[in-house]
Structure 1
Amino acid sequence: MNMPVEGSTPPSGPARAETVASSATPSFSRGGSLIAWLPRALFIVTVLYGAVLFWIAPRPPLGDFAQHVGQVALLRDLLDHASPWKNIVHINLFTPYLIGYALALPLAYVMPVAAAVKLLMMLSYLGFVASCVGFRRHLNGDPRLDVLFVPGFFGVSFAWGLFTFLVAAPVGMLFMWLAHRFATTPSVRLGVGVFLAGTVMFFSHALVFLFACAVGVGFVLVKQRSLASKMRALAPFVPLGLLCIAYAIWSHTSSSLAGEVITAHDDFDWGWTNWKRVFSLPVLVWGPTKESAMFLPVVALMAAVPWLWRDRINPDRAAVVPFLVVAIVWLLAPSTAVGTVFLYQRFALFLLPAYALMFAVPKPSHAASTAASTPLLRSLRGPVLQFAIIAGCWIFLADQAVRLHRFVAENAALDQLLAKTEPGQRALNLVFDRGSDAYRTPGAYMHQAVWYQAEKHGFVDLNFAVFVAPIVRFRPEQFALQPSRLEESPQAFDWKMDHGRMYRYFFVHKEGPLPANFFANDECDVALVINSGAWSLYERRTCR
């Protein structure tokens, strides 16, 4: 039995929190060896398990992912003066997506572009978990809840391939950590740090920027007592607000917005067509479909364990602010606005981390008295519950892995189509069937044809270059050529209206054959090159 050394001081801060958490979960033996290290080891294994998911599918079924890879490939070729598309697109540096693309670019020079983007996403995931753990330690939170930082990264934002949002997530968490320090002890040095970190966060992703700034302002309002001190502490947020306003004005007046394609994507939807929204975020933590509701018992258990462990709400009441802001976004933010979809839905990423950050471990005296006065079976409640929530994460990650493996087989035909193409051509993506039975998401095939752009220096429409935020955008005079309506209604393709003559290849994803006259025109011959599974590749050949 270890005896305290005379004259030693008890641990404080994060070390004290970890010690208290250990005392709150009694060991199987006096040595405490098993319970002391096994849950932490399993947490680390869980985190590493998640890191493997990024590498299972060569071309992941993650909604927009292929478009982001295509953007990085296009950016690299433009900077190398090797792009055949320099006359229709240009580089846009004033973008809130800048950091993600800027970090992926140097990686793309030493590895395939897809691998570069996957590596950055994996590092962002690890950075997100690490920043959550660091912030939790700063708040003296309960380390047994760290596993709650894992699953949300693989939820709705992952399934839709929201690359820049996911890359910005750890930046947002680090900003909130810094903002809490500043709100606790304001200083000029920390205030400058908040401004600089906020600027980096803005150029990482505007939505993460708005969310984290709202949390930072909430910290100031809770931590500072007098009105004067609140106003002084809000000073670093003023230039950040002006930056946001400047970008909003610029993007609204940008000549690129003159294209009709933007109007087609400028719908506004509150997402309150029914009351399902009230229950949506706990489902969206796990994915974008109704099937994700199968993990609701896991999220319910995760929500219950701090109360079953008799954790207390953090004495630092500012620790509740992130969860309150998530709740406000959940209930009040729109679903679609300004050409951006899945607005409130994507913040499911922060739901479980914000919840975990609210709690601190029981006071040492309470934990010790509980352990001493309860039978063995009751004393094991803590570790059993901890193993249960870790097991829930493993089941979820295993389900993701199986679905990704199945998608690889389901989408194997795309390899055959790409092998039949020549590089550097323009292509049209016609997706009649978006969903994947293997991965079980509604948008898995939306942009799979853009792998032709990412891997063979082509250019595929619909292209993210049409939007305001991406780093490579259409030149203003090229917007009229963008066939945006075909994204929603490929059956509406018209050779004349959609400028069919300018495309060399047509990638078609459809169960069953196309109508015999689908490409009918009086200008060019269009021939079927290959049909494999649901994929078909057509080629424009001789033109009159």
Structure 2
Amino acid sequence: MGTSPWSKIFLINLYTPYLIGYGLALPLSFIMPVGAALKLILSVAYAAFVLLGSRLRAQFDADPRLDWFFFPTFFGFAYTWGFYTFLASTPVVILFLLVADRYARQFSLQRGLAVTVVGVLLLMSHGLAFVFGAIVAGVLYTVRCRATGDQWMKRWLQGIWAFVVPAAACVAMYVVSTKIQSAYWAQYHLPVSWNISIMRLPRLVINATGDYYNPRILLGIAGIILFFTPWMMGLRLNRRNPAAWVMLVILGIIEFFVPSTMISTGYVYERFALYAFPAYALVFVASSFGSGSGSNAARGANSGSATAATAAVAVAVAPKIARAHARGMLVLMACVWFILGYHSMEMYRFAQEAKDFEPVLAAMQPEQRVLALTYASRSEDAGLDMAYRHYATWYQSEKKGLVDFNFGWFPPQIIRFRTDHLPLIKETFRAEAFTVAKFPIDPYRYIIARDTGPLPADLFKGADCAPRLVMKSGTWTLFERKDCPIAARDLPVHG
């Protein structure tokens, strides 16, 4: 809106695929706190992901009891690491697969336009999510066309127009954004990291229910049990419909062969574990005893499809099988509720621990520039290693300030620093490396430090005007340069 005190050092970047998540939260932020707006968008995204997932499962005729597989994975790796826009894109991914598959099964102008519109919407939601959705939808479209017979290539060419606009928009956005962001990439670059090993298999299970870098034995066990529940319920693999396997196969390729870091983006394959159990659910259909009633066996006896003796045995065994399958369903439900309950308690413990930050936040004047020195980023109560790494940034959303490190450093962000105002505090900055000589404190009114032990005695050694201690709350310490000259806020930190 042009009213920010930091307008001169930032610019709005519309050549980014992060528009939907922030675009939806922006109008909400005018009527509620930023934190509440983000929570509301995530809540809606989660509900839509589950509901649309149920529709996708039904479209592939998978067993309806496996709708439970869509409940827990939203709170896996991507949630733990705070990938807000990626999480907000998840229902759009499912919606895109729905409309693309319906279009592939029966062409129509209306369905084709739906593919185009939802495809562009997905591109505006998240780049990696778009690539995943486009690959799955493209292969699914090809498989459906191939199933029509000898003239499948002609049919494929007739309907491909619906995918052209989203694909062209993706290429155009990549080319334009790469050119515009070249000045940023020269100063920020992450090397490609493949990290391929046999350990990717346990990572997949753990990242689907939690975070491999903060492993939880109980969550891992729940994930393993969850994997076997379709078999416990007597379901069988759908070998007659190759389309049902497309999402799972592509996800497997991503999880085992895609780099962890690429195109200066971290944790690429890890985040897609969110789709592991949903994709797994699509490949199962009910067996002859799937209903648990034994009526199928009785009908088999009456139809003459089996001998009378065999039919009699089937009828006698059916109730036992039904009870075993019912126990499998109870195990499935118990695993899902356990995973959700575990994460709920984890977040509750973190919320109690994080209350120590509130007095620090209350003591700070609004619209100031802040340096965050996070020596201890781990939440001991919640057992999360990176929970406090950027926690001081809440000052920005609550009091319209500016905190370094700031995500405006990253080229794809919708709000980013101007190239002539890039601060020295980068994402690679660690508090242990801080000295006044290396990182001047002239632009900062406040310095927030977090550590579980005493801070370094020479923390501000050499400062012309050393900050004074304002308060200490738990593991947080607040310093202020109240009587010191503050550099103009529209000047770059590094000179």
Question: TM-score, length-normalised on structure 2?
Answer: 0.88
Corresponding position of 2:425: 483
1:416 equivalent in alignment to 2:349: no
C-alpha change, 1:365 and 1:319, in structure 2 (3 Å) is closer
Distance 1:514 1:390 in 2: 47
Q: SS where residue 262 of structure 1 aligns? A: coil
Which position in structure 1 is the counterpart of 2:188? 262
| Deviation, structure 1 residue 368 | 3.0
Q: Provide the residue aligned with 1:42 in structure 2.
A: none
| Whole-angstrom distance in 2 between the partners of 1:328 and 1:516 | 51
How many angstroms does 1:121 deviate by?
Answer: 0.3
Q: Which residues of 2 match residues 189-338 of structure 1 at below 5 A?
A: 189-225=110-146, 226-255=152-181, 257-258=183-184, 261-263=187-189, 266-272=190-196, 274-288=197-211, 289=213, 291-314=215-238, 315-338=240-263
Kept in 2, the 8 Å contact 1:425–1:504? The answer is: yes
2-structure distance, mates of 1:516, 1:305: 56
What is the aligned length? 460
Distance 1:129 1:514 in 2: 46
Contact 1:127/1:170 (<8 A) preserved: yes
Choose 449-458 or 353-362, whichever is displaced more. 353-362
Are the aligned partners of 2:288 and 2:296 in contact in 1 as well (CA < 8 Å)? no
After TM superposition, list the pairs within 5 Å mapping 1:43-442 onto structure 2.
79=1, 81-225=2-146, 226-255=152-181, 257-258=183-184, 261-263=187-189, 266-272=190-196, 274-288=197-211, 289=213, 291-314=215-238, 315-362=240-287, 368-370=295-297, 372-374=315-317, 376-442=319-385
Residue pairs, 1:395-544, within 5 angstroms: 395-479=338-422, 481-484=423-426, 487-543=428-484
Shift of 1:151: 0.7
Cα drift, residue 275 of structure 1:
2.5
Cα deviations by residue, 1:467-505 (Å, 9 ceiling, x for unpaired): 1222211122112x24106x4422212324423110111
CA distance in 2, matches of 1:519, 1:396: 45
Runs of at least 5 residues in structure 2 that lack an aligned partner in the other structure: 147-151, 298-313, 486-495
Alpha-carbon distance in structure 1 between the residues aligned to 2:290 and 2:117: 42
Q: Distance in 2 between matches of 1:334 and 1:467?
A: 20
Q: How far, CA to CA, are the matches of 1:434 and 1:357 in structure 2? A: 39
360 and 375 in structure 1: CA distance in 2 versus 1, 3 angstrom threshold = closer
Amino acid at match of 1:129: V
SS state at 1:140 partner: coil
Deviations 1:256-276 (A, max 9, x none): 63376523xx2221122x431
Deviation for aligned residue 1:344? 0.4
| Cα distance in 1 for residues equivalent to 2:390 and 2:269 | 23
Q: Given the superposition, is the C-alpha separation of residues 364 and 178 from structure 1 closer, same or farther in structure 2, using an over 3 Å criterion?
A: farther
Distance across 1 between alignment mates of 2:81 and 2:290:
47
Instruction: Check whether the contact 2:229–2:331 (CA below 8 A) recurs between aligned residues.
Output: no
- Quick one: which amino acid aligns to residue 415 of structure 2? V
Percentage of pairs with the same residue: 33
**DSSP 3-state at the match of 1:501:** coil
Asked if the contact 1:259–1:476 (Cα under 8 Å) also holds between the matched residues in 2, the reply is: no
Letter of the 1:423 counterpart: P
**Is contact 1:461–1:482 with CA below 8 Å preserved after alignment?**
no
In 1, Cα distance between equivalents of 2:250 and 2:183:
31
Asked which structure has the greater RCO (Cα within 8 Å, sep 6+), the reply is 1
After alignment, is 328-337 or 470-479 more displaced?
470-479
**1:212 positional shift:** 0.6
Contact 1:286 1:292 in 2 (8 A): no
Give the TM-score taking structure 1 as reference length: 0.80
User: Compared with structure 1, are the counterparts of its residues 482 and 229 closer, same or farther at alpha carbon in structure 2 (3 Å cutoff)?
Assistant: farther
Name the SS of the counterpart of 1:236 in structure 2.
helix
**Aligned residues of 2:376 and 2:451 also touching (Cα < 8 A):** yes
**1:528 shift after superposition:** 1.6
CA contact (8 A) 1:426 1:502 kept: yes
Secondary structure class of the residue paired with 1:524: coil
What amino acid sits opposite 1:495 in the alignment? V
Q: Alignment partner of 1:443: what SS?
A: coil
Q: Which moved more, 1:415-424 or 1:313-322?
A: 313-322
Displacement of 1:540 = 1.8
Please provide the CA RMSD for this pair. 2.1
- 1:169 deviates by 0.2
Q: Quick check: 1:113–1:454 contact (8 Å CA) kept in 2?
A: yes
8 Å CA contact retained: 1:256, 1:475:
no
1:255 shift after superposition: 4.7
For each residue in 1:316-363, what CA deviation from the matched residue of structure 2 results, as whole angstroms up to 9, or x when unmatched? 320110111110110111111223211100111100000001122235
- Give the SS at the match of 2:107: coil
Which letter maps to 1:223? Answer: R
Given that residues 524 and 541 in structure 1 are in contact (C-alpha distance below 8 angstroms), is that contact kept between their aligned partners in structure 2?
A: no
The one-letter code of the counterpart of 1:294 is L
- Contact 2:378–2:385, Cα closer than 8 Å, also in 1: yes
Q: 1:249 to 1:346 in 2, by over 3 A?
A: same
Deviations 1:384-415 (A, max 9, x none): 21111111111122211222121122222101
Distance in structure 1 (CA, Å) of the matches to 2:184 and 2:271: 28
SS in 1 for 2:394: helix
For 1:259 and 1:84, how far apart are their aligned partners in 2?
A: 26
Q: 1:279 is paired with a residue of what secondary structure?
A: helix
Distance in 2 between residues matched to 1:392 and 1:522, nearest whole Å: 55
Show CA shifts across 1:238-264 (max 9, x none). 33222222222222222563376523x
Q: 1: distance between equivalents of 2:234 and 2:332?
A: 16
Question: How far apart are 1:279 and its partner, in Å?
Answer: 2.2
Query: Partners of 2:322 and 2:45 in 1: how far apart?
Result: 37
Give, in whole Å, the separation in 2 of the partners of 1:482 and 1:172.
37
Q: Which amino acid aligns with 2:230?
A: P
Quick check: 1:495–1:501 contact (8 Å CA) kept in 2? no
> 3-state DSSP class of the match of 1:191?
helix
The Cα of 1:516 is off from its aligned counterpart by 1.8
Residues 399 and 358 of structure 1: CA distance in aligned 2, closer, same or farther (over 3 Å): same
Give the aligned residue type for 2:191.
Answer: D
Tell me by how many angstroms 1:434 deviates: 1.4
Distance 1:260 1:221 in 2: 39
Q: 1:459 to 1:261 in 2, by over 3 A?
A: farther
